[in-house]
Structure 1
Amino acid sequence: MIMETEQNAVDALFDSDPEVITSSVRMIKNSIIGSRSRKCSYMSMGVIPRLVHLIGQNEVSSRLVREAVVALGSFAHGTPDTLQAVIDSHAIPLLLRGLFVFEKSVVEACMKTLKIIYQSDKAPGELVYEDPSVLPRLVQLLSECGTFAECAAIIMTKSCVTNYHQITLCAQDIVSAISPLLTKSRQRCQVAAVMCLSAVVYQNQETALAVAQAHFNGDSIPILIKKLLTCDQRADLQLWASKCLCYLFRAQAIPDHESTICVKVVPTLVRLSKSNHPVVLQADAIETLAFVIHDSPKLQELASITDRLIFTLAEYLHRVDLPELQYVKLRRSCFLALAALTQSLEDIRQKVIGLCGIPEHLVSGLEHVDDTVKDASLRCFLSLSRSVRQLRSSLKDENLWKLLLKLLAISNSELLCQSSAVVSNIILDFSPAKELLVQERVLSRLIELTRHEVTAIRVNAVWSLMNAAYHADSNLKNELFDGLGASQLFSLMRDSCPLIVVKSLCLLRNLTTDKLDVDSIMSIHGEDILHHIREIIEESIGLDVTEQALCVLVNIASSKEGRNMMMRNENLIKHLSHFINTDSVQLQSAAVICVLNLALSSEEGATERQVKLEESGVKYALQRASKTQDTCLMDRVKVALEQFDAA
């Protein structure tokens, strides 16, 4: 009987009588309220496209349009499938067009339905920007009554996802238009306003400065937002106000000495993380806290001693009584917060290790099916692995290392970026993990990753190889060099990313610390190595790059084969002479040490090399450098000059 009634209602949507159609729409609208099954049933019968068709007709009554729009809002509020069906039916452009009609009840219905759709995060953000008249209309609606203003702010919030969107909204003077909502008594409007400002300023210094410098009723926008952090405000309002101030701070729109973050925001976020709030809000507060304290040892220390935060995070990591979605969100946020807390200070790392049982939770996090939990766990692992003490104690766990190797073998770029960063820390010579990683052929995987299209992954892979080569024995160095290959090493030395160039030079430097290793490499690849180093020096990519190139030459000049090849390269000798008298003490020191190795009087053939160096102006450059005010450099120059005198 129900199916028959539903079919009759659907058939009536195609009737020629507008009143019959209106009655049918109203009946469908009323029957689907609170019933997901009926929404799905009507969706399967093609009701949603028909409703969209009806609201697009010019000759239909405003009453019919209003009823159809409200029904579409109900469908959008149903299941993911009914929501997607509304979006796929191209309802959004028609609903946006409905903002311009004369009938206020239709405008309100369109606003509410658009709000439902955009709050789902499924709506394409670009649609608001396609018609140049839509944004000014939404900004205009901010000055209307509460419902209109709230809906307009939320629609613009959810449509602001790129740098272009942020700048476009600012160009529409949204800051001035939305500022009055911050002082309204209706807290839902205040929440919507702060959410919108947060979206406008997120990771965009230009728009953040525009917001930070704006005023309303004599107060700056940051001051108005700060007033929303009191305990008597709604928790979600406090959260969004905190977020907005955090985004302004991280965009350097609020100065470093601003006490707002230390005195108000951090304590507010810690308070919101407590268990008397909904789990989703707790997780959001914890993640926002992680965002604002990242890269700030001062804020990390403050957060660690605020209202037993670490105890709270430890308690949450042990929770297993939550629905899966809440469990994932809370666990992810806890790992991110712990990663931020332990990023810089050893005493905080020690406190976290002592209270949270980290190895056990890292293992479960790395094993979790959700990639966001894995990613957050890896970030926490990365922060803790910066500590030599932790590597040799709490992180001395083969289960952790083997799980890390598994994640290093996957194709997910975000997880690869984090796992390769962790490997670069735990493969150092003093780490107990190095032997196992090498046995598990991690070098082969790292060598593969040096060819990855993602720059950050290539950086981490080269960095890891560099650390693996540090103080390594000849067998490991040979395995690494042979596996990487000279051509790939040279390719890395020519990479477009300066950091990869620096780390590849450091890798070569670590591979050439022993004279026998230098002779072995130089006898086969010497000319090519010197050619690439000379090109790097001549391109002047940066001080760090040039310094590392000179340090490689220092190692090469320590061996017989290397010295002979360098002395045959007149351009390199001229460059050394130049760098001895450059303005940078770092480059001067590296060049002087290199010359010292070339001129060392105790080595065979020293006299001939010294004569050639003197003819090339190197000795004169050393004499000029001996007048330096830097005592360390002066001592090195003195020793180098003594080699010439000893001959």
Structure 2
Amino acid sequence: MQEVTATSRHYVDRLFDPDPQKVLQGVIDMKNAVIGNNKQKANLIVLGAVPRLLYLLQQSSSSLELRTECAVVLGSLAMGTENNIKSLVDCHIIPALLQGLLCPDLIFIEACLRCLRTVFISPVTPVQLLYTDPTVIPHLMSLLSRSQRTQEYITQIFSHCCKTPEHQTVLFNHGAIQNIAPLLISPSYKVRMQALKCFSVLAYENTQVSMTLVNVLVDGELLSQVFVRMMQRDQPIEMQLTAAKCLTYMCRAGAIRTDDICGPGWALFIILQR
């Protein structure tokens, strides 16, 4: 333990070197050291690495490469234990990363989003932190078009942080349906799946959302028919079940009728109706 702690101390000390190039190399070495090593992650957090990494990430004087590497290391620390996540949240990692999303550089944005996704999907993170600043949701919506990674991470954040009718309303009012619907035909399975999960949490016991979904077209096809296709047996089970949930919630809200659903996914849909 003493040896690991001494090594960890060395990594943290390097973050304070006056030479920016040595700081960058120190962060890169730290990144390599924490991969798959929960003990090292815990040591670095205890020794105060997180506030320094966040400081470097937020400094306009830091190079873009350094800021990106800091976001990657923070994301790796977040993949440790729930205590790690609590420590990161207590250090105000969420507002720092959300601020980072204002940077125009896509690679840095993706690194910040990847870390935010890891933090927000943890059960110990208060999802309300996504809604504290009213400018955050519309900015996340605007980033959806940047890349498949931004689409995957943002939709996953939305689906995990949509827990109440108020959350549904906020996302709905900021154009979640129109912005996320095209992602259902993305070439990326991960993007399609996360978009589908978004619709399942948005439509859950929500008449307004369900009634709106009825009239949505995706590449000329009604959204309900897209869900029906996603229930077919040649699709992964996770996709079949989530699509069936979306249709079930729409049906319970009176937006569609049971006899509107036909095809191979029909039996699955009927089972969920019971």
Contact 1:202 1:251 in 2 (8 A): no
Greater shift in the superposed pair: 134-143 or 194-203: 134-143
d(CA) in 2 for partners of 1:232, 1:141: 31
Q: Secondary structure at the match of 2:127?
A: coil
Identical-residue share of aligned pairs (%): 31
Amino acid across the alignment from 1:217: D
Which residue is 1:264 aligned to? 265
Contact 1:179 1:216 in 2 (8 A): yes
Which residue is 1:122 aligned to? 124
Which residue is 2:169 aligned to? 167
Contact 1:87 1:123 in 2 (8 A): yes
Amino acid across the alignment from 1:267: L
Which residue is 2:233 aligned to? 231
Which residue is 2:108 aligned to? 106
1:211 aligns with 2:216: no
Contact 1:215 1:221 in 2 (8 A): yes
Contact 1:25 1:67 in 2 (8 A): yes
Which residue is 1:180 aligned to? 182
d(CA) in 2 for partners of 1:118, 1:145: 20
Q: Deviations over 1:168-204 (max 9, x none)?
A: 2111222111111111221111101001111111111
d(CA) in 2 for partners of 1:119, 1:255: 34
Contact 1:214 1:221 in 2 (8 A): yes
Q: Deviations over 1:284-323 (max 9, x none)?
A: xxxxx3xx31xxxxxxxxxxxxxxxxxxxxxxxxxxxxxx
Equivalent runs, 1:395-406 vs 2, <5 Å: none
Q: Deviations over 1:436-475 (max 9, x none)?
A: xxxxxxxxxxxxxxxxxxxxxxxxxxxxxxxxxxxxxxxx
Contact 2:184 2:192 in 1 (8 A): yes
Equivalent runs, 1:218-367 vs 2, <5 Å: 218-260=220-262, 264-267=265-268, 289=272, 292-293=273-274
Go from structure 1 to structure 2 and tell me whether the alpha carbon gap of 1:269 and 1:141 turns closer, same or farther (over 3 Å shift).
Answer: farther
Q: Deviations over 1:323-370 (max 9, x none)?
A: xxxxxxxxxxxxxxxxxxxxxxxxxxxxxxxxxxxxxxxxxxxxxxxx
d(CA) in 1 for partners of 2:257, 2:11: 62
Contact 1:62 1:106 in 2 (8 A): yes
d(CA) in 1 for partners of 2:71, 2:170: 28
Contact 1:238 1:268 in 2 (8 A): no
Which residue is 1:3 aligned to? 5
Which residue is 1:47 aligned to? 49
TM-score if structure 1 supplies the norm length?
A: 0.40
* RMSD of aligned alpha carbons: 2.0
Equivalent runs, 1:491-510 vs 2, <5 Å: none
Go from structure 1 to structure 2 and tell me whether the alpha carbon gap of 1:49 and 1:269 turns closer, same or farther (over 3 Å shift).
Answer: farther
d(CA) in 2 for partners of 1:98, 1:190: 26
d(CA) in 1 for partners of 2:266, 2:73: 41
d(CA) in 2 for partners of 1:76, 1:269: 40
Displacement of 1:31 after TM fit? 0.3
Unaligned stretches of 5+ residues in structure 2:
none
- How many pairs does the alignment contain? 272
Contact 2:214 2:224 in 1 (8 A): yes
d(CA) in 2 for partners of 1:82, 1:31: 16
d(CA) in 2 for partners of 1:44, 1:166: 37
d(CA) in 1 for partners of 2:89, 2:43: 18
Equivalent runs, 1:587-598 vs 2, <5 Å: none
TM-score if structure 2 supplies the norm length?
A: 0.91
Which residue is 2:158 aligned to? 156
Contact 1:187 1:237 in 2 (8 A): no
d(CA) in 2 for partners of 1:90, 1:238: 38
Equivalent runs, 1:364-403 vs 2, <5 Å: none
d(CA) in 2 for partners of 1:39, 1:212: 47
Asked which structure has the greater RCO (Cα within 8 Å, sep 6+), the reply is: 2
Go from structure 1 to structure 2 and tell me whether the alpha carbon gap of 1:252 and 1:269 turns closer, same or farther (over 3 Å shift).
Answer: closer
Equivalent runs, 1:453-468 vs 2, <5 Å: none
Go from structure 1 to structure 2 and tell me whether the alpha carbon gap of 1:265 and 1:36 turns closer, same or farther (over 3 Å shift).
Answer: farther
Go from structure 1 to structure 2 and tell me whether the alpha carbon gap of 1:49 and 1:266 turns closer, same or farther (over 3 Å shift).
Answer: farther
Go from structure 1 to structure 2 and tell me whether the alpha carbon gap of 1:194 and 1:267 turns closer, same or farther (over 3 Å shift).
Answer: same
d(CA) in 1 for partners of 2:157, 2:92: 16
Displacement of 1:126 after TM fit? 2.3
Q: Deviations over 1:475-516 (max 9, x none)?
A: xxxxxxxxxxxxxxxxxxxxxxxxxxxxxxxxxxxxxxxxxx
1:73 aligns with 2:75: yes
Equivalent runs, 1:24-103 vs 2, <5 Å: 24-103=26-105
Runs of 4+ in 1 over 6 A off after TM superposition: none
Contact 2:82 2:122 in 1 (8 A): no
Amino acid across the alignment from 1:123: T
d(CA) in 2 for partners of 1:230, 1:256: 17
Q: Secondary structure at the match of 1:126?
A: helix
1:191 aligns with 2:193: yes
Which residue is 2:203 aligned to? 201
The structure that has the greater radius of gyration is 1
Displacement of 1:3 after TM fit? 3.1
Contact 1:154 1:196 in 2 (8 A): yes
Q: Among 12, 15, 21, which residue is 1:13 paired with?
A: 15
Displacement of 1:12 after TM fit? 1.6
Displacement of 1:99 after TM fit? 1.3
Displacement of 1:121 after TM fit? 3.4
Q: Secondary structure at the match of 1:130?
A: coil
d(CA) in 1 for partners of 2:43, 2:107: 28
